[in-house]
Amino acid sequence: MPAINSTQTPTQKDSAQRPSPLTPKEWDQQFPGVLDAIAIMAGAANVIMQLARLPVGHGVVESRVESGALFKHPIKRARTTITYLGIVWLGTAEEKQLYRAAVNGAHRQVHSTEQSKVKYNAFDPELQMWVAACLYWGIVDTNQKLGYRMSPSQRQAFYRLGSQLGTTLQVKADMWPADEDAFERYWQEGLAKMEIDETTRDFFNRLIDLEFLHPILSKLFGPVNRFMTIGFLPPAFRDELCVAWDSGKQRKFERLMSVIRSVNCATPRVLRQLPFYYVMWDFRRRVSKGVPLV
């Protein structure tokens, strides 16, 4: 490890201690499928998982950050989320610090008020840990549904990298469960704390039906998105959301995933990873021009 000059800033020290991030090509070689754009189709399901903890759900529903509101600025909201994942996997230590500061600026406005039915604060590291856990669980689950299989050593290496999904914000490194077995225990404990109330259930249904899009697009693509979203949800979340699912729908979902897998495997790597190339280019362009990052 290189020596660290005591006059370096915390960000510079962090950079000196951490290896350079993997390139998209290296990600595909070491952890196939993790950066595939097709995984975005599971995004709505993952949002529901994250927001199925009432403080997180009410924090998003009641958020006063108008510029990041899904139903007002859906494209910007999607860009911000994908950029966060891009920074986590592909960003340098300095870039992580820059994006953390930008997200923190938005999060300062996300806290409960005296009128709030549920108390929440976007800076709560416990809640951010749950969001990070959902992201990690969802990535692994979607990766498997797309037909990718990691070896035990790959799984362990990816699990260690997964901690960055939280530590890029307020989650402390020692909060991330020590290994996959510890993560599974944390996950099961988290499921027991899950709760969807009338407020968040209404928000989820509007999200699933794509009501943030033009009415024509919502009507055309909403039913497909609903089917896929419910298919990606674990059973416990389906039950809490009060949506129907049976063996026939599961078989239909698996057949559809088989077709998607075939198309995805035939797609060149650069095209599969194109959204991450774009958001990293856009992020660096914004930094260079001094444009707001979120």
- 229 has pLDDT over 90: yes
**How would residue 9 be classed by pLDDT, with cut points 50, 70 and 90?**
very low
Cα(107)–Cα(246) distance, rounded to whole angstroms? 39
- 10 has pLDDT over 80: no
**Cβ atoms of residues 165 and 136 within 8 Å:** yes
Share of the chain above pLDDT 90, in %: 81
**How would residue 74 be classed by pLDDT, with cut points 50, 70 and 90?**
confident
- Amino acid 227 reads F
Domain ranges of the chain: 20-285
Cα(246)–Cα(223) distance, rounded to whole angstroms? 17
**How would residue 142 be classed by pLDDT, with cut points 50, 70 and 90?**
very high
**How would residue 11 be classed by pLDDT, with cut points 50, 70 and 90?**
very low
The predicted structure's pLDDT at residue 156: 95
Q: Say what the pTM is.
A: 0.90
The predicted structure's pLDDT at residue 205: 96
CA angle 228, 48, 55 (to 5 degrees): 175
DSSP H or E stretch at residue 216: helix 215-232
The three-class DSSP label of residue 248 is helix
The conformation of residue 8, written as its DSSP 8-state character, comes to S
Greatest mean pLDDT among 3-17, 104-118, 122-136 lies in 122-136
Q: Locate 90 and state its tokens.
A: 């592909």
Q: Give the mean pLDDT of the chain.
A: 90
- 12 has pLDDT over 90: no
For the residues 148-174, what does the mean pLDDT come to?
A: 95
User: Could you tell me which residues are beta bridge partners of residue 111?
Assistant: 121
